[in-house]
A and B are shown apart, each in its own frame.
Chain A
Amino acid sequence: MVDLPRRSLLAGMAALGASACAKINDSEAAGSLFEAAEDGHRVLHRALAGKQGLAKEFTRDQRSPTFRGNGSVTVADPFYQDQLAKGFPDWRLEVKGLVETPLALSLTEIKSLPQRTQITRHDCVEGWSAIGEWQGVQLGHLLDMAKVKKEAKFIVFRCADLYAGRPYYESIDMVDAYHPQTIIAHALNGEALPEKNGAPYRMRIERQLGYKQAKYLQAIEAVTSFDQIGGGGGGLWEDIAGYQWYAGV
């Protein structure tokens, strides 16, 4: 026969199986475990890929026939709609926060900067993928133009759309900010970015999931911390749904 310690081991196993899911979710222990896993994934991915390691780029014939619009697919703001109809002549992209030289660039100015074109796969947190050709300016180039200060640790993207009634925003760290494939895209598949995909600008941060790829971009802000921004999670989905800030998994 089994002795008592083994019996309690059995009971413990059963209890763990039954209650793990219900109780542990809300506990601080699980929260810090998940955070440790999230940090671990980021550190491990960076170690294995290198800070500049590129996401796979595809050929034109590998693109998906269309590119799905998801989340916000339109912006209600009248100024936005007016600019969309006219081709964004008065839309300014601000670069602000911890920079020596704040910028406010027009679409023409953005297009006159050195461009990068990349055909990459977009992976949604829900599970689907689409492949498109993006063209835009590297974020690192804009940050250098604005002379980002050394104390800046994160770059926050401010967006024109409201989702669930709140302004969309996202953030990345300086490693991803200076990644060669991190671009501010103004064109998709050779044409001006459509409204459903984030006109006039959306971010491409190719080694992370779709919710990081902020659309309807208005401002780029260098900060030391995003604790005081929005709900403090570093992004709208992080705030309202609890998605992980590092979206590399």
Chain B
Amino acid sequence: MTKHALSTRLWHWVNAIAIIVLFMTGLNISNAHRHLYWGHYGFDASEAWLHVIRFPGWATIPGHYNLAVARDWHITMAWPFGIGVLFIWVAMLLNGHFRRDLMTAPKDWTPGAVIASIKAHSGANAGAHHGYNSVQKILYGGVFGVLLPLMLLTGLAISPGVAGFAPWLVDVFGGRQSARSLHFIAAWGIFGFFVIHIVLALLDWRLILEMFTGGKRDAAAPPAPPQPESLPDADEGAPAHG
């Protein structure tokens, strides 16, 4: 049995490309009006809650300010991103990935579980555990359950055409400018996750290969909570989830 289902791997890479393009075109779009507001309206910089820096060309797609091209890419790539979020949720619920690896229990939210997770993920013990530890469950759950849906829904709410048939979606976020602010915040939340995710994956390059090949799930090691340090490690070398 593979560690990563085909649906997970397929979504992972499509989503990776979509998110990179969406983020970098989003920075270009941000340069068009570098102020964020709360509420239904907002255009006066003196009423902004945040003045955003001008993102440099190396961080944007295209590499110079071009709102039309950035928007073309952004609203086209929103489709594989949005459909992908729906797809992976359905797949995770059907194949048990959500129940097995991402769903938290009350014990996952205790300080002890956090400390155990960090220990399990660091030092000589890294890579020794199986399944997702508490911190991973909370982080991945936050990305799948909060950030990705929030990105999608706030993006839809900003569109005047969508507001034409789903005004409630704009109101849920407290207005178009609030939706736009939340869109920006969620984007940086995903960026933060992206950085942690890449750094941890690069610490063990096998993890990246496994996201292509699927890897192998160790049949002798059912998903388990973080292993106490004192237990002998029977599966040296079994890579951890990123």
Is the pairing of A and B real?
A: yes
For chain B, the bracket of interface size reads 35 or more
For chain A, the bracket of interface size reads 35 or more
Is the pair B75, A124 in contact by a Cβ cutoff of 8 Å? no
1/0 per residue B20-61: CB within 8 Å of A? 110010000110110101001111100000000000000001
A128 to B180, CA, bound (A): 9
Is the pair A21, B24 in contact by a Cβ cutoff of 8 Å? yes
Is the pair A121, B41 in contact by a Cβ cutoff of 8 Å? yes
B13 is an interface residue with CB less than 8 A from chain A: yes
With contacts A16-B17, A207-B164 taken as known, whether A248 is within 8 angstroms of B159 at the C-beta atoms is yes
A37 to B75, CA, bound (A): 8
With contacts A125-B67, A249-B75 taken as known, whether A62 is within 8 angstroms of B212 at the C-beta atoms is no
Is the pair A130, B161 in contact by a Cβ cutoff of 8 Å? no
Is the pair A208, B165 in contact by a Cβ cutoff of 8 Å? no
Partner of A242, one of B43, B69, B163, B164: B69
A16-B17, A48-B166, A121-B41 provided; 8 other pairs, C-beta below 8 A? A13-B17, A21-B73, A55-B164, A121-B40, A128-B177, A129-B177, A241-B68, A247-B160
B residues 161-218 in Cβ contact with A at 8 Å = 161-167, 170, 176-177, 180, 209, 212-213
Which has the most chain B C-beta neighbours within 10 Å: A123, A206, A247?
A: A123
B62 is an interface residue with CB less than 8 A from chain A: yes
Is the pair A13, B13 in contact by a Cβ cutoff of 8 Å? yes
Contacts of A209 in B (CB 8 A): 160
A249 to B79, CA, bound (A): 13
A248 to B170, CA, bound (A): 15
Is the pair A123, B160 in contact by a Cβ cutoff of 8 Å? yes
Give the A-B contact count at a CB cut-off of 8 A.
133
A210 to B20, CA, bound (A): 28
With contacts A68-B43, A127-B33, A242-B68 taken as known, whether A10 is within 8 angstroms of B212 at the C-beta atoms is yes
Q: Which residue of A lies closest to B155 (CB)?
A: A249
For the complex, would chain B's binding face be called helix, strand, loop or mixed by DSSP majority?
A: helix
A45 to B79, CA, bound (A): 14
A residues 48-65 in Cβ contact with B at 8 Å = 48-50, 53-56, 58, 62, 64
Contacts of A241 in B (CB 8 A): 67-68
A68 to B160, CA, bound (A): 18
A196 is an interface residue with CB less than 8 A from chain B: no
B4 is an interface residue with CB less than 8 A from chain A: no
Is the pair A131, B40 in contact by a Cβ cutoff of 8 Å? yes
Is the pair B71, A208 in contact by a Cβ cutoff of 8 Å? no
Is the pair A56, B41 in contact by a Cβ cutoff of 8 Å? no
Q: Which residue of A lies closest to B32 (CB)?
A: A126
For this complex, 22 residue pairs linking A to B, each with C-beta atoms less than 8 Å apart, are A9-B212, A20-B17, A34-B73, A45-B164, A48-B165, A49-B164, A53-B164, A54-B164, A56-B163, A58-B40, A64-B43, A68-B43, A121-B160, A124-B33, A125-B32, A126-B67, A128-B35, A207-B160, A242-B68, A244-B68, A248-B162, A249-B162
